[in-house]
Structure 1
């Protein structure tokens, strides 16, 4: 499978999710908005958080709640990688206040357009959404205090380049809080070679220790998993039971 083919497939699927042509979500149980809300709660979003942001920002695509663990402070500048409809951008915006700023970067025009509409509808003056790829961020060097991401880095075939870009744009002393999917053990070849599985955050998942080492090699220190969630049989394809884990990783520059 070629990197461009994978990225094109992923981009097309998430563009359709943004326009609601595709109403599926990777880990939802249930149908429609009720299933999406249920999934959001299952990965760590509270009822109050869900109610505090525009409903159209929630697509049920995450595997954690990075804003709950990143210790975001007033006045900070935050970057969200793969911002989608803006759920984590808006939650972070509530934390940084008027003196802070939150930037969301997404590779799909439709997601950026949707998130921008959500920001206007919610009256958010301290957020900005940019079109871009996480391997080539449209962000200046050392301009960000906190970087968050929610089940996105697994979607890129080149995680090493992505984490080097994260390191580049982060201020000295800055921190990252990444929610992502990793593996424990080998995945079946038919999963690894499936475009659909790539778009569903499984085929591109990296082995857990290799994932942490990739972050270290990008230059980060104090890399640690602060929360971990093991999926059950009801959450997964039976071929993946015991092999897929959701992790919340924190690291410092």
Structure 2
């Protein structure tokens, strides 16, 4: 049973997103606004097909459209009015399916209202989207089956839940082995002080419940995920003097991470990989995260952690793998700090040594 404080937060969040916010223009910070410049052309085309009543109630802090979605089973945590679900619906196609779950009744009703409109717009014979009202830290109670999803996405929602570890636990259970949580969220530069945590507007604006960024890796690996892979990061600005005074020295960033749930296998070895190309929207170049960009036909040395992810996920068919001699291989110092990435101060470097930052799923990987 939720603690009284947690129950109060749930109530406040439902009120904020169901009644206080009418459109994204009502937001007090830029935490829940996706920078338009980050949206690739093929996704912009899918966005054009989404009804304006749905997009006007969008409050996401990033872009949560991972690659290779055809025929996938996708779960959207905190789907809101359904914008991301309807974008993903087009990309998974009629053989795939998207499930959206949200605890705010007003938002779910908006999403459901336009289901028929979008299916007709997309030219689909039958709906490939389902909307459920429920809490993201109680996925099993909402009817989400274990190991039933290839991908789980979340767009600026996990920060709204008091118990982040419980959310990630439920996601881990829902994912198939080889599956991925691809999500944008808000992170703090330090442990968030109580005066920020207890501020209703700051919690509704995704700042009050922000996780200290270093804690994400601790929680994720405790549950069995591979170490978080940082994709993008942007500094959050506050355009309200009163809120600025409450925040003080605490800084916030919106960041996108990938978390993979991999099967128990033999330790991966360092590899040289070649991207075959052809993934929709990324035919010639796949920007996998802040550390690795793969160009079609170009050989790239990757560490054990990256090799394990590529070999044991839906991307395995897109790469050629060749083991490398550890004594000759260079290892990157992986970018993990979203604040340094957002500030542009963290550069990727390489060295002739093994990366001690952590191996896949918390287990030391042998390189030879």
Structure 1 and Structure 2 fold alike (TM over 0.5) = yes
| Shift of residue 21, structure 1, vs aligned partner | 8.8
Indicate the larger mover: 111-120 or 51-60: 51-60
Which of 184, 188, 192 lines up with 1:179 in the alignment? 184
- 2:29 is aligned with 1:24: no
- In structure 2, the partner of 1:210 is 215
Residues in 2 aligned to 1:88 and 1:158: alpha-carbon distance in whole angstroms? 24
| Shift of residue 122, structure 1, vs aligned partner | 1.4
- 2:112 is aligned with 1:116: yes
Gaps of 5+ in 1: 30-35
- In structure 1, the partner of 2:366 is none
Which is richer in helix? 1
SS at the partner of 1:89?
helix
SS at the partner of 1:173?
strand
Matches within 5 A, 1:1-253: 2-16=5-19, 20=22, 24-25=26-27, 27=29, 39-42=33-36, 44-45=38-39, 47-58=44-55, 59-67=57-65, 70-123=66-119, 125-137=127-139, 138=142, 139-232=144-237, 237-239=243-245, 240=247, 243-253=251-261
The structure whose Rg is larger is 2
Residues in 2 aligned to 1:136 and 1:231: alpha-carbon distance in whole angstroms? 29
Q: So what's the TM-score if we normalise by structure 2?
A: 0.60
| Shift of residue 89, structure 1, vs aligned partner | 0.6
| Shift of residue 214, structure 1, vs aligned partner | 1.5
| Shift of residue 40, structure 1, vs aligned partner | 4.1
- The CA RMSD measured in Å over matched residues stands at 2.6
Gaps of 5+ in 2: 121-126, 262-368
Q: Could you tell me whether the CA contact under 8 Å between 1:28 and 1:60 is conserved in 2?
A: no
Residues in 2 aligned to 1:157 and 1:100: alpha-carbon distance in whole angstroms? 32
Q: How many residues align?
A: 242
Larger relative contact order (Cα-Cα within 8 Å, sequence gap ≥ 6): 1
SS at the partner of 2:138?
coil
Residues in 2 aligned to 1:208 and 1:163: alpha-carbon distance in whole angstroms? 15
Change (3 A) 1:60 1:127: closer
SS at the partner of 1:146?
strand
Residues in 1 aligned to 2:62 and 2:23: alpha-carbon distance in whole angstroms? 24
